[in-house]
Structure 1
Amino acid sequence: MKIGANYLGDGRCAFTVWAPYLKEVAVQIISPEDRLIPMEQDEEGYWKVTAEGVEPGTLYFYKLEGSLERPDPASHFQPESVHGPSQVVDPSTVSWNDAQWSGVPLEEMIIYELHVGTFSPAGTFDGIIPRLKELHELGVNAIEIMPIAQFPGNRNWGYDGAYLYAVQNSYGGPEALKLLVDACHQQGIAVILDVVYNHFGPEGNYIGDYGPYYTSTYRTPWGNAINYDDVRCDGVRNFFIENALYWFENYHIDALRLDAVHAIYDLGGKHILHELSERVDALSQQQGRKLYLIAESDLNDVRIIRDRSLGGYGIHAQWSDDFHHSLHSLVTGENIGYYKDFEKCEHLATAIKETFIYSWKFSPFRQRYHGSDAKDFPGHQFVVCIQNHDQVGNRMLGERLSQLVSFDALKLAAGALLLSPNIPLLFMGEEYGEESPFLYFVSHTDQNLVEAVRNGRKEEFKDFHLEGEFQDPFSYVTFFKSKLKWQKRQEGKHKVLLELYQYLIQLRRTLPALKNLDKQNLEVSCNDSGKLMQVRRWTDESQVFYVLNFSEKDVLFKPAAASGSWNKVLDSADDKWMGSGSKLPEKLTGEEELTMASQSFALFSQ
């Protein structure tokens, strides 16, 4: 069931809203002229009317039970933010130029996560477009945009969205988003949109006035859970499934990143993620281009990506935090909070070989057994990173890796990521060692809510990263500090790091052994000191062998590569990469003992 205000042309607009328990619903036109349009309810609880004389730009509320005026839950645009009226949008205002666009295969994606408000000085969709060429030259072929559903004020990470169909007004609104997507496709870049189906934002959230969108059966970090399996959940499920299809159909989005699916509870016969993947796959077949769903999950549960015919949900890929946690712990030495589960070289080796370190193993941090076995699933079903908005922004000072480790360790982390057999995700600015923090920020208008957010963030830092002064999420300074300093891309060590990322991505695309994400053709080992890792990957066409030294000292080792002659392709210790100087030969021919420079990596090809 299509919901919201759907403009039909010639001044006609179809309004549909689900409110199964209400006795009276009407469309209250606010502008250009004040008038009330009664609606009729069908047997499924949907109120409908097709109105004449309603042009794009018309402002409206729904009037509930004759008195309560509320924005449309499926509003396409909230020009006056979360408390103001909804606006009718003409979907045909943008002339698309992507008719030949067929998308980017999941297994070839190099994902670049960005936040619209801090990615450019303008902080808008328009501000992203001039930088697409440079992202394309880097090798990025997919951008992942943090949530853009309407939130209160003009600065927010996006996870406080109250209107999941409405494109954030301060970013430029619906038309600007479409122009951005079209521009991305012209550059050969897919667009992944981060969507939140586990909660609504707290301010401007009037969804409960319409129907049973929540259930008290389960609790989440944000309160009562979304009602996916309780009484009258039919309209709730439709709301979210239609939202997913809406982004694909109306905005030509290529993939959705589903936020925190571990906070989506559904014990019904068909899990909402199962139904969602069915509907998206059907639309994908209809449109003739592959559409993807990528889940964020804290569960290490392969049911999310297992085929529906085998009892899974059929989601195409999921994030895997184990890779980040183990690599971060190795290069920073941090071992507090959940990092205590990821201290050893063997942990990263397992993450590379099997994806999930905790595959029904006991987790000291969680104090329970955790996870499931993912080793038989291909690498293209897992997204890994060395930084993302959560891992940076949920630190008290919002430090990026560039502020925590040496330049050599930054290069080492880049090598570990881009040589891994998974889909790599870069967090904006990572590619040149951005040094500005990425902090948590909000611009709620409810002062009680602002204070609650402040106190909540302080509580989150109780066990983590206690050093430094707390950064006020409500302060504009906190937001401004988080803006990228894009010009650094062409300066000194930043330029060198950018060129290293570019070269690694090029190698990943051209060497068959790196391009293939089959984890079966893979060997990983760590030395006795637990600081040096050796990895061999191969296909019928080629073999690669690389070494990662996490020690702050040079390490002697014997190559674990197969016999034959190996040519050195890249050594991060080379002068070219502002290293201390390579200690490795240009060719490997035997089992001679070699010296690996501290905090460096090297790649050989046969």
Structure 2
Amino acid sequence: MNERSFGPRLTAAGASFRLWAPAARRVDVLLETPHPLARGDDGWFSADIAGVKAGARYKFRIDDEIDVPDPASDFQPEDIPGSSEVIDHTAYRWRAADWRGRPWPEAVLIETHVGTFTPDGSYRAMIGKLDHLVATGITALELMPLADFPGRRNWGYDGVLWYAPDSAYGRPDDLKALIDEAHLRGLMVFLDVVYNHFGPEGNYLGRYAPAFFTDAQTPWGSAIDYRVREVRDFAIENALYWLREYRFDGLRLDAVHAIIEPAKVSLLHELSRAVGDLATETGRQLHLMLENDDNAASLLDAREEMPRGKHRAQWNDDYHHAWHVLLSGETHGYYGDYRHAPLNDIARALGSGFVYQGEASAHRDGQLRGEPSGALTPTAFINFLQNHDQIGNRALGDRLEANVDPRAIEAALAITLLAPMVPMLFMGEEWGAKSPFPFFCDFQGELAEAVRQGRRREFAGAYARYGDEIPDPLEPSTTQSAMLDWTAADAGPGAERLRLVRELLAIRRREIVPRLAGARFGSARASDNGVLTAHWPMGDSTTLSLIANLSDRDASHGDHKTRGTLIWGAALNQSVPPWSVSWRIG
């Protein structure tokens, strides 16, 4: 699928414009003057127009009634209501031209939001922080969604124009420069993409291509109808577009459980095979990861040399939720599913991947959730203690640092960063950042007020005690509060935490990563006294072993099988100090 069906294409004589608008009678492309597009029998309108060059601005006029941006616009310099801009993607001169990626077992992810990662909130400003990531031991920069959203401030999950990186952060070449500079430093770059819905403001597809949608509803609006070939192509071509034109090393597909699709061959399978074809064509290592509340182990295979219908890994929400209950004591909402024995749940996640592998979920009214996952390799799971959702969906957007004993957090980090699963940090977590990450957006009018009131209703229960303290998502000050304070990493507790994370990741790079190929799940056990033990057979026939006391009192571990060389923590006797972690390989 080298040729895009959607979006403009520069030609030797000018440009070719195409729009799939099966419900339209007439379509004109508006350049300096209107040009009618010819209709084909399949609902496509098209025209080749001479003299059009990169930088040209255009819109589509539908039935002489409404002017709309190109749904596959390469760039919207004046936001969604403005004109689309023709971009020549071949004009950028890549410096890291020989970059082919890195093997998946080397991944250490950090999730970031471009607009709050630096004070400038831009692609170019992020370049200045790449050396920090490399020095920390990060190998993969993950960007929250960039698809053009309404206004200047947004998490990114309200994207409407999937092909256009939002102009709030810079131009397309600025994004390419960020990726190029990351590659020059050995960093992979991943992009979060949303294929389960379109944002609520600025989406005109329903006017001229209602076949994009079904009557079914997702939590965020009408479901997308991937039974329709053109709709499937729109998503798959978008994935290939980001990987080809911007040279992202992979994608994270958001909330795929909300993709409502009765078709026999799923979008996820077809998209994966298309990405695998691109990897073969280019000789690049490309990786796909999922967020999937259904815990569908059958979608995952981290061992495939390249995607061939499966996906490398899944964000392991179970792992996060069990840790959050253990560390914070909170049991409202979905945390209730982990309230009875969070330490046992952590042990299960470490020992076989998911916590829910087909068991009934009380939070989901007894629905069975998940599939057995112990036969997968540990690198099919991305483990984390914090991410944008789990911070931002709290009333105040507060991080663990605001409520949890630092010793407990450091014990959790020592386990998460050295376990054989792929670890992920949220921006600033490497130094224990305390800046919140509340939900924010920049909607207007009735939609803005609906979002404001919706957030208040959402927090009327467990978070009612905060009252007027709950930040208004529409206020610019809410976005401003999420800006990272980089000075906090330079001294005091921030510098100490950063030193710890760098030390742990250096050990991971030296002792764990070389043994991950062929590693398998082993065993993990939690004791009533707070002691956790785990063992994993590694790819070089050694065994990775963990003993940890995840309580605030001394405890006896009783594990007489401890063997191997100590790589982290103290040599333990039968008594294990509070919040201590010990790792061995042998």
Q: Distance in 1 between matches of 2:231 and 2:136?
A: 41
Q: CA deviation at 1:595?
A: 2.4
Structure 2 spans left out of the alignment, 5+ residues: none
**What is the Cα deviation at residue 165 of structure 1?**
0.6
C-alpha distance in structure 1 between counterparts of 2:492 and 2:291, whole Å: 35
Report if the CA contact (8 A) 1:507-1:514 is conserved. Answer: no
Q: Which residue pairs with 1:441 in the alignment?
A: 440
Residue 173 of structure 1 and its aligned partner are, at CA, apart by 2.0
RMSD: 2.0
Aligned AA (1:486): W
Q: Which residue of 1 aligns with 2:482?
A: 482
Residue of structure 1 in register with 2:259 after alignment: 264
Letter paired with 1:254? D
Post-superposition shift, 1:303?
2.9
> TM-score normalised to the size of structure 2?
0.94
Give the Cα separation in 2 of the matches to 1:184 and 1:420. Answer: 26
Alignment of 1:327-476 (within 5 A): 327-343=323-339, 344=341, 345-368=343-366, 369-444=368-443, 446-468=444-466, 469-476=469-476
Q: Secondary structure at the match of 2:129?
A: helix
Match of 1:277 among 272, 275, 282: 272
Counterpart-to-counterpart distance in 1, 2:510 and 2:274: 35
Change (3 A) 1:213 1:125: farther
Partner of 2:94: 96
Instruction: Tell whether the 8 Å contact from 2:60 to 2:69 is kept in structure 1 after alignment.
Output: yes
Per-residue deviation, 1:272: 1.2
From the superposition, tell whether residues 228 and 355 of structure 1 become closer, same or farther in structure 2 (CA, over 3 Å): same
How big is the shift at 1:313? 4.7
Task: Indicate the residue corresponding to 1:603 in structure 2.
Answer: 583
The question of whether the paired residues in 2 share the 8 Å contact of 1:508 and 1:515 is answered with: no
Residues 416-440 of structure 1: CA deviation (Å, up to 9, x unaligned): 2112221111100011000010110
Deviation at 1:544, TM superposition (A): 3.4
CA contact (8 A) 1:379 1:517 kept: no
Percentage identity across aligned positions? 37
Quick one: distance in 2 between partners of 1:567 and 1:288? Answer: 38
Take 2:401 and 2:581, find their aligned partners in 1: how far apart are those partners?
17
Give unmatched runs, 5+ long, in structure 1. Answer: 572-583
Larger mean Cα displacement after TM superposition, 86-95 or 518-527: 518-527
Structure-2 separation of matches of 1:517 and 1:451? 51
Deviation per residue, 1:510-536 (Å, 9 max, x gap): 22588426563522122233x110122
Tell me the TM-score normalised to structure 1 length: 0.91
Q: Distance in 1 between matches of 2:516 and 2:462?
A: 37
Q: How many angstroms does 1:538 deviate by?
A: 3.8
Q: Where do 1:113-512 residues align within 5 Å?
A: 113-229=111-227, 233-305=228-300, 313-343=309-339, 344=341, 345-368=343-366, 369-444=368-443, 446-468=444-466, 469-512=469-512
Residue 466 to residue 354, structure 1, CA distance change in 2 (3 Å): farther
Query: Is 1:524–2:524 an aligned residue pair?
Result: yes
User: Which residue type is aligned with residue 261 of structure 2?
Assistant: D
Q: Deviations over 1:280-317 (max 9, x none)?
A: 11111111112222111111112322699xxx952232
Q: Secondary structure of the equivalent of 1:511?
A: helix
Deviation at 1:66, TM superposition (A): 2.7
Task: Please give the alpha-carbon distance, in whole angstroms, between the structure 1 residues aligned to 2:197 and 2:322.
Answer: 29
Counterpart of 1:92 in 2: which secondary structure? helix
Alpha-carbon distance change, 544 to 252 in structure 1, aligned in 2, over 3 angstroms: same
CA offset digits 1:161-218 (Å, max 9, x no partner): 1111111111002111111111110010111001111111111111212212443442
Structure-1 separation of matches of 2:515 and 2:373: 20
TM superposition shift of 1:69: 1.1
Q: Distance in 2 between matches of 1:387 and 1:11?
A: 51
Kept after mapping to 1: 8 A contact 2:375/2:521: no
Q: Which residue of 2 aligns with 1:537?
A: 536
Partner of 1:21: 23
Structure 1 residue 10: deviation in Å? 5.5
Is 1:306–1:315's contact at 8 Å kept on the other side of the alignment?
Answer: yes
8 Å Cα contact 2:71/2:161 also seen in 1: yes
Cα distance, 1:412–1:273 mapped onto 2, change above 3 Å: same
Counterpart residue identity of residue 25, structure 1 = V
CA distance in 1, matches of 2:50, 2:9: 10
Distance 1:110 1:513 in 2: 10
- The AA in structure 2 aligned to 1:599 is W
Does the 8 A contact of 1:513 with 1:538 survive in 2?
A: no
For 1:20 and 1:513, the matched residues in 2 are separated by 51
Partner deviation per Cα, 1:396-420 (whole Å, 9 max, x = no partner):
0111111121111121111121122
Change (3 A) 1:154 1:450: same
Native 8 Å contact 1:439 1:478 kept in 2? yes
Instruction: Report the count of equivalent residues.
Output: 574
Query: 1:112 Cα deviation (Å)?
Result: 0.7
Counterpart code for 1:337? G
Give the direction of change, closer, same or farther, for the CA distance of 1:467–1:355 in structure 2 (3 Å limit). farther
